[in-house]
Chain A
Amino acid sequence: MRSVLPILTVVMAILALWYGAAVMLNRQWTLDQAARAGQELTLTQIVADTMAQDRPKLPAPHQVGAELWNTTGAMVLEGKAFTRRSLIWHGWVTLSATLVGFGIGTAAGILLAIGIVHNRAMDMSVMPWAIASQTIPILAIAPMIIVVLNSVGISGLLPKAIISAYLSFFPVVVGMVAGLRSPDRMQLDLLRTYSASPAQAFWKLRWPSSMPYLFTSLKVGMAASLVGAIVGELPTGAVRGLGARLLAGSYYGQTVQIWSALFAAAILAATLVGIIGLIQRITLARMGMAR
């Protein structure tokens, strides 16, 4: 609880900066409108107007907050939580693709890491490709994945999940290779003195040793998955998902909508990473590794 005050201070500072920036950025439009109408505005009127525009350059925090509420909580109260105007519905579309992609990416990452650690040929060959795959801009490759999969009849959630997986497998591979290799030579020698099989060495030593590495990778991978799912929604014509909201918002200059979608994505990411952190704490505590 001691950290509440510092956190609040930082939040207040960010809000103050944000309001200040909103006034600065939106001022010109207010002044132009007033000049066209031949009006003289007082400072208070100017400031008030910069925070209440329909399409501000930078929406004020309370505008974003109101939009978020109107498209989530208010719609739940009206019983329209899963309609097309609801961020909950769009969020769920993105979330489902994120989770499927995260699952595929994590599984692929762990399997590749196991292969890299146990097989010299894979060790030499897989890593450079994995690194190369991440140097290609996802924005360039996403439409191709969508188009190719569409042409073989796969559309909807799976193409987005694959783009998610494409981004999220990499941190898992890197983290798990380090984790599976974390037992030192003495630990491995000890198992050799027991004539342990590679499978026994894996389950008794390498896998448990890699747990702290796994959870760190999963957190990075989860955030990457969400980015992948959002990017995957952009080339589909912006019909559904948080990515679609972002794109539609930018088509029509709906900055408030863009910002509220951004915040929805950030809240979603923070929640997902927080859940993994919780599972990490519980798992490590049950393993006796938390003190």
Chain B
Amino acid sequence: MQASVIKADHLDLVFQTNDGPVHALSDVSLDIGKGEFVSFIGPSGCGKTTFLRCVAALEHPTGGSLTVNGMTPDAARQARSYGYVFQAAGLYPWRTIARNIKLPLEIMGFPKAEQEERVARVLELVDLKGFGNKYPWQLSGGMQQRASIARALAFDADILLMDEPFGALDEIVRDHLNEQLLALWARTGKTCLFVTHSIPEAVYLSTKIVVMSPRPGRITDVIESPLPKERPLDIRDTPEFLEIAHRVREGLRAGHAYDD
């Protein structure tokens, strides 16, 4: 494994709410190397999204330390270290797909000519060539989410943070997008952090699976996947795959994730 890109050390995050303090993250220590694909899996409230938001400096830990590319999360954001993909595509309905992808480029002040060139490049990367002039409502849900991934890739961050990006899509579209995402990851060599509810999705995509459990949100298991980098969809029927899936399930059970 190469140099660590994200390093969390005894990370704590306590939200003060009206019902008293909520321990969103407790003693989370994790090391993510360059080019890894790391999935976070666990039930609602286990802190997987919160951890991603900490990396993105959208939340601020109350204890422990967290570095992104060797910087504080805030500095890493200023340095455009990551692109964030949310659960919903969140494309602006008044902008075409191309102009949606241009949004971060405009905000970050890229020159006009370079904007065009980057949009064309990422549209091709997510297989949406020729759709630049369409409006979001003219695209299917899966295509919209691909456009939002393109938007996150447009400014060449080397980390891709994805918070259940395919959660709202149906199984068939999801399989297809998972395949495409793996191909994209192989081509770009980005470090990916991927939050999911789905065990097969986590096992299929990841080089490392982080199993989390709630109350307080913590890591119960970290699984290094022995699966090869080249993964056809039917790898999901192999014994190795099922064995990892089983271990993920065990990890979730150990964290009492099935209690309620």
Contacts and interface: CB of A to CB of B under 8 A. Distances in A.
Interface of A: 186-187, 189-196, 200, 204-205, 208, 211, 287-289, 291
A187 B90 contact: yes
A191 B90 contact: no
B102 to A, nearest CB: 10
Interface stretch (B76-84, B189-197, B211-219): B76-84
Contacts of B87: 186
B90 A195 contact: no
B90 A208 contact: no
Contact of B77 (A186, A193, A208): A193
B135 A189 contact: no
Given A200-B107, A204-B106, A291-B137, A190 B86 contact: yes
Interface stretch (B25-33, B91-99, B120-128, B220-228): B91-99
B107 A190 contact: no
B56 interface: yes
A194 B94 contact: no
A205 B137 contact: no
A196 B105 CA distance: 11
Closest 6 A/B residue pairs (Cβ)? A287-B94, A193-B84, A288-B135, A194-B107, A196-B107, A194-B104
11 contacts: A187-B90, A190-B90, A193-B58, A194-B104, A194-B107, A194-B108, A195-B77, A200-B107, A205-B92, A211-B94, A288-B93
B103 interface: yes
B135 A190 contact: no
B5 interface: no
Contacts of B106: 204
B86 A191 contact: no
Nearest to B104: A194
Interface of B: 56, 58, 77-78, 82-84, 86-88, 90, 92-96, 103-104, 106-108, 135, 137
A213 to B, nearest CB: 13
A28 B83 CA distance: 81
Nearest to A191: B107
Nearest to B151: A190
A291 B135 CA distance: 10
Of the listed residues A187, A191, A192, A193, the one surrounded by the most CB atoms of chain B closer than 10 A to its CB is A193
Given A193-B77, A204-B92, A287-B94, 19 more contacts: A186-B90, A189-B58, A189-B84, A193-B58, A193-B83, A194-B104, A194-B107, A195-B108, A196-B107, A204-B106, A204-B107, A205-B92, A208-B94, A211-B94, A288-B96, A288-B135, A289-B93, A289-B94, A291-B137
Nearest to B106: A204
Contacts, number: 46
A211 B106 CA distance: 21
A280 to B, nearest CB: 14
Nearest to B93: A289
Which residue, of A186, A190, A289, has the highest number of chain B Cβ atoms within 10 A? A190
A193 B152 CA distance: 10
A282 to B, nearest CB: 14
A103 B95 CA distance: 28
Contact of B56 (A193, A200, A205, A287): A193
A218 B240 CA distance: 64
Contacts of A205: 92
A17 B86 CA distance: 59
Contacts of A208: 92, 94
A205 B92 CA distance: 8
A204 B82 CA distance: 21
A200 B108 CA distance: 10
A193 B82 contact: yes
A186 B88 contact: yes
B63 to A, nearest CB: 23
A205 B90 CA distance: 11
A189 B86 contact: yes
- Which of B78, B92, B137: most chain A CB closer than 10 A? B92
A190 B58 CA distance: 10
Nearest to A287: B94
Nearest to A286: B94
Contacts of A189: 58, 84, 86
Contacts of B107: 191, 194-196, 200, 204
A265 to B, nearest CB: 36
